[in-house]
A and B are shown apart, each in its own frame.
Chain A
Amino acid sequence: MLESVFFNLFAGLSVLSGMGVVLSRNTMHSVMFLIFCFFNAAGLFFLLDAEFIGVIMILIYVGAVMVLFTFVVMMLEVNTARLREGFLQYLPLGGMIAIILMIEFVGAASSGVFSNPAIATAEHLPQSINNTEEIGQILYTQYLLGFEIAAIILLVALIGAIVLTLRTRKDAKHQKIAAQVAVRSEDRVRKVRM
């Protein structure tokens, strides 16, 4: 009973905040709605006993990705009027994607995969079963190769981003930290006898 109340709360709020992302005129408000949406999704994971994924969701998406989003949005001056200029031009493509997604969702929901009665009546796991340990054990044994490949792709992206944005500027001033630390008071202060 309490669980279904919380499910409806989280699910409803995530749909509402998702609508807020799309409909609000201020980009900053959109970002805040998106953050709220992630929170509610994390809440849904908690209800499914997937506390590791829920917390990671908050840590990665809200704590890191959205901070950078907010940062960029803050720096940009977004002109909403100009953004709406090409609205009609993109409407057919966007509408098509929306319709295809809708069909996919309806198809997946009615395919019978999710109507297994065992899923609906599954009991909650006891606290002694540790989500983190289970995920770690399967990730580092059965799916080790995939895990390593993902890690290398991320590393390549990281280095690529650094290489693309790195430009050596001739006029940039660099601090020599070792020289600064090595400074003694005699180098800076001269004692004057009055």
Chain B
Amino acid sequence: MIDWGMAAQAGIWALEILAIAVPVALSVAYITYFERRVIGWVQVRKGCNRVGWAGLLQPLADGLKLVLKETIIPKTANKYLFIAAPIMSLMPALMAFAVVPFGQTTLFGLWDVMHVMSMSNLNVGLLYIMAISSLSIYGVLMAGWASNSKYPFMGAMRATCQMISYEISMGFGLVTVMMLAGSLNLTDIVQAQAGGLFHWYMFPLFPMLIVYFISGCAETARTPFDLVETEELVSGYYTEYSGMWFATFSLAEYAAMILISLMTSILFLGGWYAPIPFLDFIPGTVWLLGKTALLIFVFIWFRATFPRYRYDQMMRLGWKVFLPWTLAWIAVVGIFIYTPGLDSIINFWMPWR
């Protein structure tokens, strides 16, 4: 006997997964196009403008090319892990989207109460995001090891050192957000920032916004931290990959970039709230995605502007600059919260208190 309630629930879950995974894949395709056009514009050249109107079909052509290419598995590679590595790097990038709240809606007045648009309204949402995004290292490590070749191995080593170093300062930066919001639930964190531009955490936590965004840049190995895939390493850990497996790695990288941008807008830029309350007639999701798009533009802008960090500079920035900085800011926020007199200042950002 089939339990119809359970079957319906499974169907809803499948639809929810598709409703997130398909737009993410599509936006990854068009971010690559956007990136090439923007960098072309910054460097005073055209960028891709031949396939389709203004080059809009370029991502499809690229995708088709990658699918049709032969997938080569090196003879000395560890076959199982070589094939598993791209999947292991894509999986956490997509899994993290499960707790991201995309806005609040009454479905145009159909429901009486506001519903949060997220697959799972987890109480430990922020920790979940941190845990899942720390798993993306394994794809890189496995790709480097399973290829059984020098350059991928060195690239994987560098990537691991980089990700471990920056994860710590990233986590400490988020502790200040937890202190102000008093919750690990992403929806609560956004709702604590309601009430206009000055309630956003970008004001009391401005140094942490900078640390989080730059660490996010390092986590996704984007320029200026792309020393894991430089020319000197012949594109680092995915040297030996070709065709669709190669594309899976870049899919994971761009999905992680979207996630970092989404998280920065949720944690520091007021999530789905408008900067001025009377602009709230525009749906929250539009605001959230608009902020995210702006941050993705900043990522691309970085790539067009900054030269690459050297390995020792990258390690120095993570351990000697960001880590003391975040620890000091945790102390500052803590002192503000518990000192009589000063707490009236910080209470402006802690409406739940």
Contacts and interface: CB of A to CB of B under 8 A. Distances in A.
B336 to A, nearest CB: 19
Interface in B70-108: 78, 80-81
Interface string B51-81: 0000000000000000000000000001011
A166 interface: no
Contacts of A55: 124, 127-128, 131
Classify the interface of chain A: helix, strand, loop or mixed: helix
B6 A177 contact: no
B127 A52 contact: yes
Contact of A59 (B134, B313, B316): B134
Contact of A51 (B123, B145, B316): B123
A127 B123 contact: yes
A70 B138 contact: yes
B138 A2 contact: no
Nearest to B123: A130
Interface string B127-139: 1101110110110
A62 B167 CA distance: 14
A162 to B, nearest CB: 12
Interface string A7-38: 00000000000000000001011001001000
Contacts of A52: 124, 127
Interface residues of B, number: 33
A44 interface: no
B135 A62 contact: yes
A137 to B, nearest CB: 13
Contacts of B124: 51-52, 55, 131-132
Interface in B230-279: none
Q: Among A52, A55, A71, A74, which residue has the most Cβ atoms of chain B within 10 A? A: A55
Nearest to B84: A32
B138 A177 contact: no
A62 B127 CA distance: 13
B164 interface: yes
A161 B161 CA distance: 18
B177 to A, nearest CB: 14
B211 interface: no
A63 B145 contact: no
A67 B164 contact: yes
B295 interface: no
A56 interface: yes
26 contacts: A1-B3, A26-B78, A29-B80, A32-B81, A51-B122, A52-B124, A52-B127, A55-B124, A55-B131, A56-B131, A58-B131, A58-B132, A58-B135, A59-B130, A59-B131, A62-B131, A63-B135, A64-B164, A67-B134, A67-B141, A67-B160, A71-B160, A74-B156, A127-B121, A131-B124, A175-B313
